[in-house]
Each structure stands twice: as C-alpha cells, then as structure tokens.
Amino acid sequence: APADALARDVGRLTVEAPAAPRSSAPAAAGAPALRPPAQPAAAGGSQPESQAPAPAPPAAAPVSSKSVAPPGRPGFGTAGRKMIVRANHFLVGFADKDICHYDVAITPEPKTRRINRVLMTELTSKHRASSLGGLLVAYDGSKSLYTAGELPFQVMDFSIKLGKPPRETEYKVTIHFAARANLYHLQRFLSGKQRDSPQDTIQALDVVLRESPSLNYVTVSRSFYSTIFGQRDIGDGLECWRGYYQSLRPTQMGLSLNIDISSTPFYKPISVMQFAQECLNLRNADPNRPLSDRDRLKLKKALRGIRVETTHQEGKRSAYKITGITSVPLIQLNFPLDDGNQMTVVQYFWGRYKYRLRFTSWPCLQSGNDSRPIYLPMEVCTIIEGQRFTRKLNEKQVTGILRATCERPRDREKSILKMVEHNNYSADKLAQEFGIDVTDKMVNVQARVLPPPMLKYHESGKDKACAPSVGQWNMIGKKMINGGNVQRWTCLNFSRLHIDGVKRFCGDLVKMCNAIGMVFNPMPVVEILSASANNIEGALKHAHQSAHNLQLLIVILPDVTGHYGKVKKVCETDLGIVSQCLKPDKVERANKQYFENVALKVNVKVGLLAVTFFCCA
C-alpha cells in the first residue's frame, strides 16, 4: 500500500447536482435492467463435427430452513438539509447472455500473471477461429476464463511456446468447463427478491470489463496505470503515474461500476547512472571517485529486484533482473576464461565490444546467482519502463503523490468523467459480445447535510458551549472540561534552533496549557537540552534515565525530515514515554493558534478530555 491507498479516495463526491423531481420512493431504480438476449453473431472458424451435450443449468442454491433474514431498514432520516450529490458510480446494464465459466490450468506454472496473459493472448490469436468457435474470451490472469456462449468442447489441452531457442519454453494450457453464470439470480438479488449475493456472476462481469485495460495498462490490484493519463517526477529516481480504480458493485440502484482517480510510484525509465545520481543526491557523477559504503548499500537496496536492459550492443538489447551490487569497484572485477586465465570486466568490454568503460571506480550491477554472476556496468544499463516502486516512500515523495492525486470535488469529477470517456466502454468489443452496457454519467444520490454537534466546555470558562462553523472552532474564552495534570516533563531539541528560543517556546506552551484548564508544572523535571540528530536513540535513553516517571517528553525534530518514526518507536515502544513531536519550522514561528493545538494534543495524550458533545445545534 501501500502508497496506492494513500492516493485513492473511493466514495461519493460532494458535488451538488441540479435538484431532482421529488418522488415518494426512497430510491430511484435507475439501473438498466436485464435486457432480452440479442441475436447471436455468426461464429467464425470451423466447428468440430461432434460436440458434447450442453450441461444442464445449475439449480438454485438451497436455503437453510433455519436462516434468519436480517432486519429491514426502519426508515429514512429527516434531520439536516436535503440535497442531491453525484457519486462516482456508473450504472451497468446486462443482457441475458449464456456466460460460461472455464477453469484454466497452466503447466509449468508461470511465475507472474503477465506471462499468464501473454500465453492466453497467444492461444486466442492462434485458436479463436477454430477450437474456440470464434468466441472472444475474458481472462482474469489466473485460473478463470469466461465466454459469452459455450465453447465447442468440455475440456481441451493446448500447447503454447514462448521465447526463442535455446531459451524457448513450452507450456500446456488446459481449459475445462466449470459452470454457468446465473444472470437471473443476479437480477433477483438487485431487485431485492433474493438475499444471497451471486458473487460468481458479478465476478464474471467484472472480469469482462477489466479485460481490455488489463491488456493495455499496468495493472495493480483493481487499478490501472499508464503514462497517457499523466506522470509527475517525485524525486530520487521515481515518478508518479496517474491511473484509475475500477470495481463492479451491486447497489440499491442496480449494478454499478465504481471508478476513481488513483496514483502510484514507478521507477523512471532512465539510465542507471542518472538514477544513481538522483537517488544519492549527487550533482555530478565523478568517474574516478568511488562510492562510500553507505551510498553503495543505499543504491543496492534501491536497485535490487528491478529489470534493466543493456545499451552497449548496437541493434540488440538484453534484459536482466538485478540481484545485487558488487562490493568492489568495477576495475577490480575479473572472471575465469576457458583456458584458465583471468580477464577483467573492463578488458572484456573493450576486447568484445570495443566499449571503453569510464566509471571503473564505481561498483558493478550483478545479475544471476552468486555461483555464476553476470556483471553489468551501470553506465551501459537503462531501467525498463513500467516497473512499480513497492518500497516505503520518503516524506517528499508522499507529498508529491498526494499533490498529483488530491483535487477539489468538481475537478475530480471532471477527471473521472474524462477517464470514462477515454475508456469508451460502449465501443469495447468484449463488452458488446457479453451484452454489457455502461452509462457515461454519474448517478445522482439523495443526501442530507447534518448539523454539527454542540461542543461543551468547562463551566469556569467564558464560553461554556460552542457550535463549530464549517468544521472549525478555537479555544478563545474556553477551558477544557477535564484538564490534565503534568508535573514531570522535559524537552529535547534535535534541531538547529538556539536553546534559548526552545526554552521560551516551552514556557509559552506551559502558559497556554494552564490558561485552557490544565495543571502544568512550569519547571521541567530536568534541564531542557539540545542533542545531535545523529544520536537520537542515545539522547532519548539518556533523558529517560535522567528523569524517572517522566509524564511527557517534548521532542523538537531535526531539520531534515524522516526521523519522526524512529523517535516514536524508541519513545512509545522501547522506553514507554509519552512524547509530543514538533517540527522546528513550526516552533520557530509559533502563534497562539499553534500553542492551542499542541495543548489539546498534550491533554489527550495524558489521558483526559478537552470537550464533550451534548446535543445538536
């Protein structure tokens, strides 16, 4: 998630739509219903002389006599201001087609779904007109295949070869009839006449709608990404690709396709040397200056597992998967020849390819295994496009992805509609064959804007209650309903802020805490100190040992980002200290509002309440 989750906000868009005419029904049944079957198209290709009899349609699943129906909705709410919002759902209609489900078994089992899809694409291109009866197929990339009509066989084996000799691999693909999708059960479920959700039928239709984007875009779970949707540099050799999330869902309005904008990080398709410069923040790569062990290990971690292609052979590019980086410079690498002599990698590239390597003081990429390594100089390698970055992003990269994805509701609506228009579901040949129709307009949903709750504060304050406005309020004239008591505290400063400024900040924070209802000792239990950002763990442990039974440790983080997680781990997990982390730039220009916000956080962390809800406005 990772970073995919931090960039997706699936749900309703709070975009007001024109008011719809009132209806007595609680929800409009706007979904296209089950349509009559269309006339079957003529099947291309030759058909076998004899076919196995079609299996009987599956009977409805028995319902237990002891099953208990869930209670019905008691009614509809009336509080708040009524309105109509548009949701990022697009209604889906389906015809009464004979959708058949087939199991797919591949031997030997491929390592990735990408190979599975390559095999199925090769199979359909060779055998569609003959063995597949001219039918189009929808494949989920794993073990399920769907057709709009029955194939001319119950089970059949296919032989597919991939690659070129001597690395050619032969696969056996077995397709076996499994079941029929029951569209009648799905229609009854959508109309509320059946409790059990026919998930297998919904999955079949979902696979059909995902087939075309799965072949054309990079697939990550239920999302699809491509550079044609836009990309953005997020630093350290990475870029953010835009795409969209898609999922078929049953709703009260009928079957619906949920679509939303999504973003995720990818490796930039650049030379490995350029990637190393960006990853290590080097202005210029010096061919004669070796990398430090720290930089080498960082680069090794960043490059391990990615695929690169070589560029030193004119007219030929070979792809490799990086398994590591050598611990010695390129100029010291050698390998044995058949006659027993040794040859360096630098000599080999000059003698074989007339290529003079420049960065001989840098380490070398390594592919293959340790017993038979393949050495690849960084300067002749380029990162292959379309490889998703799956490791943890730094703060700068997270911010870049959020900026690429977060939009105001109206702008997000336009982006989603543009994505739907680009996909052009009505022109999808596979969707047409399966009788699936997707509308190009968002659904309108009835909604109510609820009034904010009233907030109750302590009776001793000037204002005893407060009604938030647009989700905001302040502590002016108010006191916490149950202020905390902090007697043993201190502060550690890991930033470049002067210690006198840190002490003034702590004194102002103590005054604010006492002013809004807390009991906060103005004197720290031990002296407020500054410490080096290179010794965070040691400084935290020293503070813990110096002040027994410490109730609160205020930590001003280093100026360079990325230390928050380490501070929290040591304080909360290893030492058991309640900590309040603060950014140095915020501390330096702190105002009254900032002090109030920090005081509220501190009060919660010592286990007490600042405010309670007592009624609606």
E-strand stretches of 154-267? 155-162, 169-180, 218-220, 223-225, 231-235, 238-251, 254-267
Percentage of the chain modeled with pLDDT above 70? 87
CATH number attached to the domain at 272-383: 2.170.260.10
Confidence of residue 33 (pLDDT cuts 50, 70, 90): very low
Per the model's pLDDT, the better-predicted residue between 404 and 179 turns out to be 179
Per the model's pLDDT, the better-predicted residue between 329 and 76 turns out to be 329
Reported residue count of the chain is 617
Mean pLDDT of 209-216: 93
Task: Summarize pLDDT for 126-163 with one digit per residue, the tens.
Answer: 999 999 999 999 999 999 999 999 999 999 999 999 98
Mean pLDDT of 409-427: 92
pLDDT, position 461:
75
pLDDT, position 13:
38
Confidence of residue 323 (pLDDT cuts 50, 70, 90): very high
pLDDT, position 59:
53
pLDDT, position 403:
86
Mean pLDDT of 190-206: 91
Answer for the pair 176, 155: CB distance below 8 angstroms, yes or no.
yes
Confidence of residue 569 (pLDDT cuts 50, 70, 90): very high
Per the model's pLDDT, the better-predicted residue between 427 and 22 turns out to be 427
Mean pLDDT of 268-296: 91
Mean pLDDT of 240-260: 94
Per the model's pLDDT, the better-predicted residue between 186 and 608 turns out to be 186
Mean pLDDT of 271-286: 90
pLDDT, position 608:
61
Mean pLDDT of 553-577: 91
pLDDT, position 503:
94
Percentage of the chain modeled with pLDDT above 90? 60
Task: Summarize pLDDT for 449-474 with one digit per residue, the tens.
Answer: 988 888 888 777 777 788 887 777 77
Is pLDDT of 601 > 70? yes
Pairing of strands 218-220, 169-180: unpaired
Average pLDDT, the chain: 85
Answer for the pair 416, 18: CB distance below 8 angstroms, yes or no.
no
pLDDT, position 468:
81
pLDDT, position 452:
85
Is pLDDT of 19 > 70? no
Pairing of strands 485-486, 137-139: unpaired
pLDDT, position 29:
36
Task: Summarize pLDDT for 365-414 with one digit per residue, the tens.
Answer: 999 887 888 999 999 999 999 999 999 898 889 988 988 888 899 999 99
Q: Following DSSP, what letter does each residue of 300-312 receive, concatenated? A: HHHHTT-EEEE-S
Burial class of 173 by CB neighbour count within 10 A (0 to 12, 13 to 18, 19+) = buried
Q: Helix, strand, coil % (nearest 5) of the chain? A: 30, 25, 45
The gap from C-alpha 386 to its chain's centroid, in whole angstroms, comes to 15
Cα dihedral 22, 25, 27, 29 sign: negative
E-strand stretches of 329-450? 334-336, 342-344, 365-368, 373-376, 381-383, 436-438, 443-449
Does the structural domain 455-616 have CATH classification 3.50.50.60? no
Answer for the pair 550, 490: CB distance below 8 angstroms, yes or no.
yes
pLDDT, position 63:
53
Which distant-in-sequence residues (6+ apart) come within 8 Å of 588 by Cβ?
A: 497, 501
Q: How far apart are CA 345 and CA 364, in angstroms?
A: 10
pLDDT, position 66:
54
In 3D, which of 143, 101, 136, 103 has the Cα closest to residue 121?
136
Q: How far apart are CA 487 and CA 552, in angstroms?
A: 9
Answer for the pair 243, 263: CB distance below 8 angstroms, yes or no.
yes
Question: Domain spans of the chain?
Answer: 99-218, 272-383, 455-616
Answer for the pair 481, 611: CB distance below 8 angstroms, yes or no.
yes
Mean pLDDT of 418-423: 93
Answer for the pair 567, 580: CB distance below 8 angstroms, yes or no.
no
Q: How far apart are CA 495 and CA 563, in angstroms?
A: 11
Mean pLDDT of 316-341: 87
